[in-house]
Structure 1
Amino acid sequence: MNRRVTVLTAVHAPSARFLPDAYDSLCAQELPQGWEWHWLVQEDGRTDTVALHVPDDPRVTFRQGRPGRPGGPGVARTLALAHADGGYVKVLDADDRLAPGALARDLAALEADRTIGWATSRALDVLPDGSTVGFPGDPEPGPITPGTVLAHWKSHAFRAPVHPATLCVRRDLLLALGGWMALPASEDTGLLLALDAVSRGWFSAEVGLLYRKWDGQATGQEAHVDPAERAARAAVAEARALALTDLGWRRPG
């Protein structure tokens, strides 16, 4: 495996103004000796505005989708996955920031144990006034046994015990599962449930992500909580995870 982590970011025009903050948080990461990152920024659709906010850095690659045809963040990330050239893929949403040390902790967990397929970490909401709020009920730090995320999600009103926006995953495992689900939302939770079905995971209790809360974010829109759509998203995500479990496929250690 090469010693590179690909950082994958889906972006649309309203969130593009936050890209410089995401970039600064990426540049502040201290990686283990010999490691490097490559940032893939994929626009969801094609406009004339997003490129203006993409940093001029040889470690950054910017691509666009179809003109006038946004497909959502899952589609954008999966398109970008075609160009991921690292052994690991780290998610970083355009409006979020990595906390100091996040990448190094992810790599430490994944490099130390080949049976760990994916890693997550504690996240903090960043409110519009700049204050931060944590999530209650974080799991114990360390390995996550397969099936743990699905069981918690089903018993806690479709709320996962770890934040999918903090995900760092082995590239081959991500490809084997087909990337992100083709859903208008919860596509990252659907992927997390699939990963949980086939591989051990990891949770770091140290803060790895600062999750920005703002008016334009997709999860804050009325459509995101439409009861019928939410039920359909949950049903297909659960069915996929259960099908993987029933088939007995497991990532080799």
Structure 2
Amino acid sequence: MNRRIIIVTAVHGPSAPFLPEAHESLCAQELPAGWEWHWVVQEDGTSDDVAPYVPDDARVTFRQGRPGGPGVARTIALAHADGEYVKVLDADDLLTPGALARDLAALEGDRDLGWATSRVLDLLPDGSTAGFPGDPGEGPVERGTLLDFWTAHDFRAPVHPASLFVRRDLLLALGGWMALPASEDTGLLLALNAVSRGWFSAEVGLLYRKWEGQATGQAAHVDPAERASRMAVVEARARALASLSRRCG
């Protein structure tokens, strides 16, 4: 029996038209012999807007549920994630060729690593791309280093949570994504780094689409009061996990 990577995608009506392109980027992935991927697409809601865009592919499972935000949708999708690894792919983003194989090689090559991320480029509306300044060098990300950087740089992590690849058991042990209206993926990333070493691939692994309908472009996302509250909870959780990990280790 093949070993499996589960791709988890949260989607709502406005982002659904991008699903076929995300599927194309998945189909372009090449994995080592004995490995396969399965895509779980979880709608954040129960509309009729998403299903028409879900690819007709036996490797794709489509589910719906009551709305709770992308973190809730991804977490509930784990009920259908029966693989050893979970890869995040937002509905409007694209994997680059080789991304899954590089993530897999890093974690299969070192059982002490719990997760991996990669370099990300913004995909702009005109089709051009733009990079992020200050990407770390390729290699392991030691425990606790993301929180240190994040707190010193206005709550911005040095690696992108949208490129996350993680061991399923570790993801479940941490409860999945945080129950926040936004920054739930950053919260998970910092929690993972509080208890486990990770890996950063310097090769571009994800194209992060920028478009006017994306959630991170909405005014509520940058509301100062809400942002401060989100960041406080994210930091407190990461510090608590780090403390517990040291005491238990």
The TM-score normalised by the length of structure 2 is: 0.98
- In structure 2, runs of 5+ residues without a counterpart are none
What residue in structure 2 maps to residue 36 of structure 1? Answer: 36
- Specify which of 136, 139, 143 is matched with residue 142 of structure 1: 139
Distance in 2 between the 1:207 and 1:78 partners? 26
Cα distance in 2 for partners of 1:182, 1:129 equals 34
Q: Is the 8 A contact 2:2 2:36 kept in 1?
A: no
Q: CA deviation at 1:251?
A: 10
* Matched letter for residue 47 of structure 1: S
Q: Deviations over 1:80-123 (max 9, x none)?
A: 01110110000000000000100000000000000000000000
1:23 aligns with 2:27: no
Determine if contact 1:199/1:251 at 8 Å carries over to the other structure.
no
Residue 248 of structure 1, CA deviation:
2.2
Residue aligning to 2:9: 9
Asked if the contact 2:178–2:188 (Cα under 8 Å) also holds between the matched residues in 1, the reply is yes
Question: Is 1:45 equivalent to 2:45 in the alignment?
Answer: yes
Residues 142, 32 of structure 1: alpha-carbon distance in 2 compared, 3 angstrom cutoff:
same
Q: Is the 8 A contact 2:54 2:62 kept in 1?
A: yes
RMSD: 1.4
Cα distance between partner residues in 1 of 2:126 and 2:149: 31
Report what 2:120 is aligned to. 123
Count matched residues. Answer: 249
Can you list the C-alpha shifts for 1:47-99, whole angstroms capped at 9, x where unaligned? 01100000011100000012xxx211000000001110110000000000000
Contact kept in structure 2, 1:121 and 1:163, CA below 8 Å: yes
Q: How much does 1:2 deviate?
A: 6.2
Q: Which runs of 5+ in 1 are unaligned?
A: none
1:97-152 deviations in Å (ceiling 9; x for gaps): 00010000000000000000000000000011111000010011110000010001
Residue 95 (structure 1) aligns with: 92
Structure 1 residues 250 and 17: alpha-carbon distance in aligned structure 2, compared to 1, 3 A threshold:
farther
Percentage of identical aligned residues: 79
Q: Distance in 2 between matches of 1:2 and 1:60?
A: 16
In 2: Cα distance, 1:190 partner to 1:154 partner:
13
The aligned residue for residue 55 of structure 1 is: 55
Normalising by structure 1, what TM-score?
0.96
Quick one: distance in 1 between partners of 2:188 and 2:244? 17
Runs of 4+ in 1 over 6 A off after TM superposition: none
Aligned-partner residue type, residue 60 of structure 1 = V
Q: Is the 8 A contact 1:199 1:250 kept in 2?
A: no
